[in-house]
Every structure is written in C-alpha cells, then in structure tokens.
Structure 1
Amino acid sequence: MTVRTGRRIADLADDWARTITHDSVLTLPEWLATDDEGRDGETRYLLSGENGQGAGLVANPIAAGTFPTNDPVALLLSSELEPGGEAGLVARIGDLRATLADDLASCYPVAVSTLPGGYLPGLVGDLRPENVRLLLDGLQKAASDWGCEAVSVLHVPDGSPLTGELRRRGFVGAAFLAQAQLDLTAKDFDEYLAGLPKRRRNKIRRERREFAEAGFTVRLDDIGRRSREMAELHAAQLQSYGYHQVTAERLQGLMDRIERHLAPWCRILVAERDGELEAFALAYEYAGELHLKMTGFSASAQEHFGYFAMSYYALIEYALQAGVHTIVYGPLTYHAKVVRGCALSPRSSYLLVPEPLRERVAQLAELIDRHNRAVFTAMGTGDR
C-alpha cells in the first residue's frame, strides 16, 4: 500500500479530503491548515489508501515547555491529580515521578501524534490493522528523522483500534484526561434544566438572572468583527492561568487564520454591555457537534458568572435552537462540567521510551491510570 507524505496539509489536502471520512471538524484540511500556518516547527502528514478507505497521521516533534496536555512527558510527570481515589496512591505516584524526572527530561524532543487543538489521536480515518501498522511505522520513522528518543500517541479513546498495536510495540498508556461531552435531548433550555437536580437548577437560574441584571446581552457575531477585542480578552484569561507567553498579538494571528480557513463552521457568541464587548465564546459547529474552543471575559463579566453564562448557558441555548445535539467541552474543570450534565470519557496517552526506562514508566502509568479512572467514575456517578 502506498503511503504519501507531506510537510504541510497543503501538500496532501485534496487527497486527504477524498480519503479521510470527516466526522469531526478536527480532521478537516482547513482545520489542519489553520494550525500549519501558525506553527514554526516541523510537521509531518502521512496518508495511506484512497477514496474513503485510507487513514492519515499528523505528527510533530515537541520540546519541553509546550502546553502540558500536548506533552506526554509532562502528563506523566506533572499532570494534576484530581482528589479522591485509592488511599495512598497519590503518594506512590509522587515517589515514582521523582525517580523518573531526570531520565524522562532527557527524552525531549518527543515525536507526538495528536490532532491540533483537540483531544484525539493524530491517526484518523479507516483504522484497520494494516493502516495502523503503516502509519505507526511512519511515526517511528519520523521520530528517528527528528532525533527523538521517545514517541507518543496522545488522547486515545477507550476501545480505539489503535490500542492493541500500540501496546504490541511497547507503548505504555494511562488515562491522564477525560473528554467532557454534553449530549442534549431536551427541546429547550427549560427542559434541559428539568433534567438536573433541583439545587443545581436553582443555582443556574440565579447565575443567569445575575448575569442578565448586570446588563449583559448575548448575541451571535462574526469572526472578523471583534477579533482584536476577543484576542485581548482570551490572552488575559490564559495569562491568568500562567501562560504568559501567549500574547494578544499572537492570538490576533490565530483569529486571522480562523477567519481565513474556518469561518463557515465558526460560531461566536458575544456578551455586550452598552455596546462594549465584555465576554465571548467561540465554538465550531460541524457534523452535529459544537466544539467550544475559546472564551474570554472582562473582570465585570467574571464577577457576574460570565464563565458559566457564556461557556454553558448561552452555548446550550444556541445548540438547542440550532438543532445541535452534542457539545464537546474537552478536559479539565471536570466538576463544573459534570454538574451541568456532561459525561466523561477517558483519553489515554501512550508513550514509547528507551528500553531502560520502560519498566518504571509502565509502573507509573498504571498507577496514574488506576487513580484517574476511579476519580472519573466517581465524578460521573456521584451526586450532581
């Protein structure tokens, strides 16, 4: 079977569009091009097969210091552990992390396969065994070309056909994260609320009322109209989380690329007061799903439940009106998502390290996986 290779999605875009079944906005050539144009380092695309019977791979070499959820070494060594789980397990994880820290730090750069801006592996399409083997061979060849001692496939859903072949090759994995997804069966917001516990319904009504009484009004807007203001709000939000390298200028460039490539699927909800932009939520609508990808809030909006008003309530109202039945929220801040109706689906990241490290890495991964799965299960079945 022929495998084609490109350094940019533009090298393969037409064949990629014909070959990959695009059941997610994250696999579109336009999505990948948006990332390509903002990336300084190398990328490699592989494509096997054709006409809906093939599969593709996206891979990049990553250095230390990238976003932690896209860094398999950071996930292994420093991903935050949610409280709960088996007694004593967190302490054992901490001890093992300490013994591995220096050795794993020497494994950078790491060849990583994941879809940009999403929590899915970078192997997509028809994942029958022969395609998976070819693409993983290509990933390991890219790792060798880039001088990477470690190779990773990130954010693999449970039950994926990738899992068996990854394990056969010596990759070890753990459920470091869980994807949060809200499946909507209600006909309107009142019916959505009715499906939540009474105390949660009352809290949501109070939050929505306070947001409205503060003078904020919500409407749909276009990507190009307020992009500078949105970039500034989002940059301030990321910097408050510690990502000080993310500037408004850098985000303005991203907004420009979104407008150029992704405008047909982009949905922006803005909250204004006296004509001023106070908050926004940017999502993508495709194949029956709404992917929330960017938010920003003024200090005043934050004080009046702007995060919940925009990320959940306004977005849910839009989805119900548009006939969209699934909102994909991504990982982290799990409690806020679960109590508003989201379900959690574990995402395992797999890492292949040099042979001398494999036994200890496998032990650490197994402990993290056990802890996180217990916590995710407890969150999903607990009192909301």
Structure 2
Amino acid sequence: MTDAVVTSCRPADGGSSAVPTVAGLGPHALYACPRWLEVLERGGRGPAEYVDGASPGQPPLGLLPVHLDAPTSSSRYAPAQLLRGLPAALVEQPWSFAGPVSAYHTDVPTVVAAPRASSAAALLRQAQRTASAEGRPLLVPYLTDAVAQVLPADLAGARLLQAFDCWHESEASSPEEYVATLPRKRRQALNRRVRDFVRAGLAAGVEPLREHVDVFARLVTNTSAKYGLASRPQAMAEHLRHIAAVYGDDAVLFVATDDRGEIVGAVLGLLHADELYLRMTGFDYAATDGSSTYFVLAYHQPLAYRRERPHRRVHHGTGLLYTKLLHGARPRPLWALLLGARTEGVDFAEINRLRAAELLEGLPAEMVDLAGGTLPT
C-alpha cells in the first residue's frame, strides 16, 4: 500500500463502533483494518480485548485483537492443524489467539508516527501478557511475512509455515495489457477462456454487493456445498449484509449474468486503500460449467475494474496455489507464531522445510522455485 496513512478505516454507515479508534494507522491489510474488525463484531465474533501496545500515559502504537479462545470452529484455526508436528503436550494445551482469527490472514497495524518494527513487537508482547494472565501461551495464526520479517529474533524464532498467500501485482491497467505481456502459449490459453465465457452466452459486469446480497448468499451456499462445507443462506446473507453496511461502495461483486440478466456467478471484491481483496465466490454450476466463469470473474474482471477504481494489486488468498500462480499471482508465506510456549528442542527449520515441500508438492519446478525463494534460509 502506498498511502502514508490509511483513511478508510471506519464503517461506511457511521454510528458507534465497538472497535477502538486509533488515529494515524499506517498501511495495513484489509483483514486487520478496523472496518473488518467491525464486521466481526457485528457477527458476534469480537475479541476479548484490543491491545494498542502503549505504555501507561503514552499514545497507541497500533491495534491488535486478542481472543482468549478461538472464536471459530474452523479446522484451519485448530491448534492440531496449526501446530501439527509438534509434541502433543504442546499442541493440546489451551491457547489464546491474537489477530482477527478470520480470513486466514493476520497483519499488525501500527501508527506511522512510531517505528514499524518496535511498534509491532510491542503489540505482540502486550497480547502475550494478556494471554499469560490467563495462564496460556499465545498463537498468532496466518501472520504475514511482512510482519514476521521485522520482528526481533525472540518473537520471530518460533514460527511455523502455514500457507502461501497469493497476490497479483501486475502494473497493467487492463486485462488486455496484462495478457499482452505473457508468452504466446499462455496468452492464447487465457484468450481462449474469455471466448469460452462469451460462447456460453454469459456477460461480465460489476455490481454493488448491497443490491444483491440474497442472490449472492444462495450462490455462495451452493459453492460451499459442492466442496463439502456447511453454509446456510440466511446466515451467509446476514454476514454479507454486515459487509455491505460497513464497506459501502468498497464492496463490489464481479458478476456473470445469463441471457435473461440473472446473476449465475459472482466473486466478492473488497477495496482497501489501493488494494483489492477477493473474498468469496458463488456459482450456479448448471449455468456456468465449462464457461471459464471463475477465471473471468477472479482474474480478468479485477484487472478490467482498474479503469473504474484504480488499485495496485489483487489479493487472491491461500489455496489453489497452482491455479493462482499460473495466472500471474506471486506467493508470500504465512506463519503461525508461538509466544510464551515451551518450545525447547523443537526444530522449527526442519518442520518448515517439510511443510514447504508438502505445500509445493506436484507444482512445476519454476513455481516451486518462485515460492521457495520467499522462505528464510
């Protein structure tokens, strides 16, 4: 992010918020922003407390939520998953958590008036003290590599690789400009996918989320069911209404419509500072199978949207690593940080080597080299 101070930190619908106001927050990720924390508060997933890293009588250094217990039943946030490979006694003890515990992405927002590294460290140490007061060590799941790299060794040493976070960082101002930079075979393949979409009788567009909450909720539920995930349209619609209210015009749907004008596929995009985050997808598979709709909505349309709402890069998140790297995304590691735990004798370097091999298994050599080059040696 290029903004010296991120100004889009408060809910679009105004009103009081349970999230503390910290003036002068510097560049930070969407899922660490007070706006996303407000979405979680409205959904009943607020933290036990927020820490600001400040010494008594001093101004806040940033903002970090602390959960005494995980507020989600997602298996990807379970210590058994985050800490796999560690001794059972370490894994099975009660843990507290820092960060939003949402979206598999934890940043540590700090104010621009104080040094980034020392401020992030102060926030994490304060969060650790909060957990220690409850007799628990602290887990910081899915911490961004940008934060991990600036932490002192006593904080960053006990970290476990969790996933690769994917960002599309092309400077192209349109999908056509981006495709023109690619080798001939990849250029032909991407153009063929656009033609598949058109031949299927579909059209692409951009719509405000607030105008299509119920339709999108049904499509997301449909996609969740395809992949064996439980999701109810009513609960999903409520979550999406919170997002629409908090983000206003910054919550958009990249949509595919059929010849009747009905939305048969959509990808949610959230604009934050000069970045676009793709949040979730939903499809009517009877109408979209074989049409390359996912590609058009997740890769083609976000670049086309730069003409209307300029943004520097697109966040594609974790998972489907081959697909994301194939379409030009670049990986960065995400970590689980362990603070206040007894980790003597744990070979973090070896565990992370094995985890990297697991995550990169089956990828072409050039993709393995690209992702492996982001890991500490």
TM-score (structure 1 length as normaliser): 0.78
Aligned-residue CA RMSD (Å): 3.3
SS of the equivalent of 1:231 reads helix
Partner of 1:223: 209
Q: Say which of 32, 43, 51 aligns to 1:46.
A: 51
2:97 aligned with 1:111 = yes
Partner of 2:239: 254
Q: Provide Cα deviations, 1:113-163, integer angstroms capped at 9, x if missing partner.
A: 346436233454455455344323321233235553x31223334453675
Answer whether contact 2:275 2:313 (CA < 8 A) is retained.
yes
Partner of 2:65: 58
Higher helix share: 1
| Distance in 1 of aligned mates of 2:181 and 2:156 | 44
2:17 aligned with 1:30 = no
SS of the equivalent of 2:168 reads strand
AA matched with 2:201: G
Answer whether contact 1:114 1:120 (CA < 8 A) is retained.
yes
| Distance in 2 of aligned mates of 1:201 and 1:358 | 51
| Distance in 1 of aligned mates of 2:321 and 2:359 | 13
Q: Provide Cα deviations, 1:82-141, integer angstroms capped at 9, x if missing partner.
A: xxxxxxxxxxxxxxx3x73x4355224432334643623345445545534432332123
| Distance in 2 of aligned mates of 1:288 and 1:170 | 28
Q: Say which of 282, 286, 291 aligns to 1:304.
A: 291
What is the CA-CA distance between 1:363 and the residue it aligns to?
Answer: 6.2
* Deviation larger for 38-47 or 61-70: 61-70
Partner of 1:3: none
* Seq. identity, %: 18
Query: After the TM superposition, which residues 162-177 of structure 1 pair with which residues of structure 2 at under 5 Å, given as runs?
Result: 164-165=151-152, 167-169=153-155, 172-177=158-163
| Distance in 2 of aligned mates of 1:366 and 1:185 | 32
Partner of 1:85: none
Partner of 1:4: none
2:307 aligned with 1:314 = no
| Distance in 2 of aligned mates of 1:111 and 1:131 | 19
What is the CA-CA distance between 1:255 and the residue it aligns to?
Answer: 1.1
SS of the equivalent of 1:191 reads helix
Unaligned runs of 5+ in 2: 1-15, 371-377
Q: Say which of 308, 311, 326 aligns to 1:339.
A: 326
| Distance in 1 of aligned mates of 2:253 and 2:142 | 26
| Distance in 1 of aligned mates of 2:104 and 2:267 | 16
Answer whether contact 1:207 1:304 (CA < 8 A) is retained.
yes
After superposition, the Cα gap between the structure-2 partners of 1:52 and 1:206, relative to the gap in structure 1 and judged at 3 Å, is farther
Q: Provide Cα deviations, 1:304-351, integer angstroms capped at 9, x if missing partner.
A: 222112111122221355332311111211111111111111222212
After superposition, the Cα gap between the structure-2 partners of 1:64 and 1:29, relative to the gap in structure 1 and judged at 3 Å, is closer
2:253 aligned with 1:272 = no
Partner of 2:7: none
Q: Say which of 308, 312, 325 aligns to 2:312.
A: 325
Query: After the TM superposition, which residues 129-278 of structure 1 pair with which residues of structure 2 at under 5 Å, given as runs?
Result: 130-146=118-134, 148=136, 150-158=137-145, 160=147, 164-165=151-152, 167-169=153-155, 172-244=158-230, 246-273=231-258, 274-278=260-264
AA matched with 2:34: P
What is the CA-CA distance between 1:10 and the residue it aligns to?
Answer: 3.0
Q: Provide Cα deviations, 1:168-200, integer angstroms capped at 9, x if missing partner.
A: 158611332122111222243222112222222
* Deviation larger for 284-293 or 300-309: 300-309
SS of the equivalent of 2:288 reads helix
Answer whether contact 1:44 1:60 (CA < 8 A) is retained.
yes
What is the CA-CA distance between 1:71 and the residue it aligns to?
Answer: 4.2
Answer whether contact 2:64 2:123 (CA < 8 A) is retained.
yes
| Distance in 1 of aligned mates of 2:155 and 2:172 | 45
Length, aligned pairs only: 347
Higher strand share: 1
* Deviation larger for 116-125 or 199-208: 116-125
| Distance in 1 of aligned mates of 2:338 and 2:80 | 8
* Deviation larger for 131-140 or 252-261: 131-140
| Distance in 2 of aligned mates of 1:352 and 1:361 | 16
* Deviation larger for 258-267 or 369-378: 369-378
| Distance in 1 of aligned mates of 2:216 and 2:205 | 15
Unaligned runs of 5+ in 1: 1-8, 78-96
Partner of 1:83: none
TM-score (structure 2 length as normaliser): 0.79
Answer whether contact 1:154 1:348 (CA < 8 A) is retained.
yes
